[in-house]
Amino acid sequence: MATLHLCAPQDMTRLAPLMARFAEEFRLPEPAAAREAAVAPLLAGSPYGAAYLIGPPRTPVGYLVVTFGWSIEFGGMEGWIDEIYIREAVRGRGIATEALAALIRALREVDVRALHLEADREDRAAQRLYLKSGFELRDRYSLMTYWL
């Protein structure tokens, strides 16, 4: 079973290489230092989100980052999976499915009302994973962003 380990500042040494692999795979332009600076407050206990190592804390097989917001529509706190990454060598073994299930259980315990994520329109494998995990496509909506 995939376990989640809530990250603290001392976990950055194990988290950073996984984040670098995620950024490389998804061709994210931000430098590693900027990505590490963005996640550091979450490791320090910021109420805006949390980062988790997936698998054994000493030798994690992946990570996920969830952030929090408030929604009138959903009646309270909502979560957004900002990033989820599983090492390529261990994909296809159900680890991401187990990690998502563990995250959902943990968020229910703290009264998070909904959990959202973005999926690449062309990534059918990711879409299958999320649908199998209980996520639903919201056909009426498109994610729109205004960069500040």
Angstrom distance (rounded) from CA 19 to CA 31: 11
Angstrom distance (rounded) from CA 38 to CA 46: 11
Angstrom distance (rounded) from CA 67 to CA 48: 6
Give yes or no for a contact between 113 and 78, defined as CB atoms under 8 angstroms apart: yes
Report pLDDT digits (tens) over 83-140. 999 999 999 999 999 999 999 999 999 999 999 999 988 999 999 999 999 999 888 8
Give yes or no for a contact between 123 and 57, defined as CB atoms under 8 angstroms apart: no
Residue with tokens 């000493």: 58
Q: pLDDT band for 143, please (50, 70, 90 cuts).
A: confident
Report pLDDT digits (tens) over 43-73. 999 999 999 999 998 999 999 999 999 999 9
Structural domains in the chain plus CATH codes: 4-132 (3.40.630.30)
Q: What is the mean pLDDT of the chain?
A: 95
Classify strands 76-86 and 114-117 as parallel, antiparallel or unpaired. Answer: parallel
Its pTM stands at 0.93
